[in-house]
Structure 1
Amino acid sequence: MSSDETGDLRFFTSLVDAGSLTACARNLGNSPAAISRRLSRLEARLGSTLIIRNTRHFGLSETGRVYYERALNIVADIDRLEDEISSSARAPKGTLSIGAPVELGRRQIAPFIETFSAKHPKLTISLALASEGVYDLSDYLDVVLRLGLPEAGGAMVTRLASTMRVLCASPDYIARRSLPAHPRDLTKHDCLCLRRNKTMALLNKWTIGNEQETDVVTVEPRLSTTNAEIIHDWALSGQGIAYKLLCDVCQDLEDGKLIRIFPDLQGERIDLYAVLPDRQHTRAGVRAFLNDLRPYFRTAGFLRD
């Protein structure tokens, strides 16, 4: 494989992870036009459209999906080979500080860190949790995991995975109140809503639908809180219907502790990003953490793009 081909693989995975030409251009320090031209040259060399893009849509074609998945594996193999050949002095060591939203951090990132730490015993790792994953990079964090695209001037932003919100309730609640027949019936049910910190603004407009029809239902909550884990606990105890991230409730859905309502419909799609202060991505510990985190998310309630 030539260096140009390897560079194309890395470029394409960076583009898909960024989620748009503009975000990729920002990450690579280039212009969107230059990124578009490079993508066009790659597609011309391969003789296939990899990304379907217009003013409203940026998504992988079927060929692009295959190319992206294979490219991830090839790039990971190259990185692993280089790590094995390099001296032990370059192995990840020192400290690694990670910030994450409270519930995602506790349910997904903390268990992942246990495995990751055993693999890299020379790293001393700390995990900081905050509501909605909002941190100031001046807090000396190496990596911040953020739900939703952040406004991070002077930082590198990389999309790691996507999840979506789902409607769910406990078997006890459903037995007591029955299932809603249509999304608009949610207004007749006990709903559990988040509020934003500081402003206490109510997040009560729930989007649910499919490619043919989407409803935005405004619910009046019976209970509300600024803490996502409390919403989760209330749902488990039968207090009402919750609009939760799939990555937070996937295990309870699998275990039958919660039941997904309208399983054929999808709620709001949410992207998960890694935010890194400038140049942090070059550190061995940060690079190893992100390289291992991406495949982990494929089995942790996140979507396959």
Structure 2
Amino acid sequence: MRHDETGDLRFFAHLVASGSLTACARNLQTSPATVSRRLARLESRLGSLLVVRNTRHFGLSENGRIYHERAVEILALIDGLEEEISSNTNIPRGTLGIGAPVELGRRLIAPFLATFSATYPNLLVNLALASEGFYDTSDSLDVVLRLGLPDSPDAVVTRLASTVRVLCASPEYLARRPQPVTPQDLAAHDCLCLRRNKTMALLDRWVIGNDLQTEIITVEPRLSSTNAEIIHDWALSGEGIAYKLLCDVHHDLEQGRLVRIFPDLQGEKIDLHAVLPNRKYTQASVRAFLDSFKRRLRVAGFF
């Protein structure tokens, strides 16, 4: 029987991405036994153990690591070749991997992708979310959306739009506490602050102002978290004042769940960038995604 080598490569890449036989079976909508048998057949064909597994551990052998690395590279070349050829007809197909920050991904990009995917039924879309969008194109992604510039000097970067940080709180919070009249009044309020992942550095210096003058206010947080969505939820539940990206809270402001404090002032401007691999061509799927997504950004708290 002829082996489906490409299918085996995709299967193994999916298995490693899933992190376990059970998760892989769930994602492929099959049974763990079926996944285990297919892995066993692959290892038998190659004559090498690829996965070291027991009831408590799932890891790659040295040959498994090499096979996975080569599999990802080969699949990227295959998908890139198909995309390059299909781009002549401008019909996105194949696989599109997108990386994004968690809150932006959940609240804006995920709903957009549901509609976008329905428009292109031959395109398999994968969305990967990281707490601060710190994925890069080496993570087997075709495009990464980043708030702020990436660190990689050889990245291909396109600015999509800009947003700003704004101060906001729930009507319930402002009903029991006097609304700040000047930025200095923030010192007397319950503030909700982000912390950096790993370092736990507190982001308690809030920039606020206009085109003529800005100032930096150091606030004392009552609550803080490394997760932007938790800050958002605390603000909605009346726990205090948050310093949020307009793109994350614009729906809540429009529908009155949050109230903008100092509506004539704003915080830092933040650019949203698309980071692409350093390739000689841009996939038809990436072009279609970015063209459609930029139109969506115009009504999503960006400018």
Same-fold status (TM-score > 0.5): yes
Equivalent residue of 2:132, what SS? helix
Whichever of the two has the greater Rg, that structure is 2
Over the matched positions of the two proteins, sequence identity in percent amounts to: 70
Q: 1:185 to 1:157 in 2, by over 3 A?
A: same
- The structural deviation recorded for 1:204 is 0.6
1:280–1:286 Cα contact (<8 Å) kept: no
| Corresponding position of 2:23 | none
Q: 1:292 to 1:237 in 2, by over 3 A?
A: same
Unaligned runs of 5+ in 2: 1-85
4+ long deviations beyond 4 Å: 86-90
Deviates more, 1:163-172 or 1:134-143: 134-143
| Corresponding position of 1:182 | 182
1:127-176 C-alpha deviation (Å, 9 max, x unpaired): 01001100132210111000001122322100000000000000010011
Equivalent residue of 2:242, what SS? strand
| Corresponding position of 2:107 | 107
Q: How far apart in 1 are the matches of 2:244 and 2:234?
A: 12
Q: How far apart in 2 are the matches of 1:214 and 1:88?
A: 50
RMSD across aligned positions (CA):
1.5
2:87–2:284 Cα contact (<8 Å) kept: no
1:256 aligns with 2:256: yes
| Corresponding position of 2:71 | none
| Corresponding position of 1:54 | none
| Corresponding position of 1:81 | none
Matching residue's letter, 1:263? P
Equivalent residue of 2:164, what SS? strand
Q: TM-score, normalised by structure 1?
A: 0.69
1:26-53 C-alpha deviation (Å, 9 max, x unpaired): xxxxxxxxxxxxxxxxxxxxxxxxxxxx
Q: How many residues align?
A: 218
1:202 aligns with 2:198: no
2:136–2:144 Cα contact (<8 Å) kept: no
- The structural deviation recorded for 1:212 is 2.2
Matching residue's letter, 1:209? G
1:63-94 C-alpha deviation (Å, 9 max, x unpaired): xxxxxxxxxxxxxxxxxxxxxxx998651100
| Corresponding position of 2:124 | 124
Q: How far apart in 2 are the matches of 1:244 and 1:90?
A: 38
Matching residue's letter, 1:153? P
Q: How far apart in 1 are the matches of 2:284 and 2:231?
A: 37
Q: How far apart in 2 are the matches of 1:106 and 1:183?
A: 31
Q: TM-score, normalised by structure 2?
A: 0.70
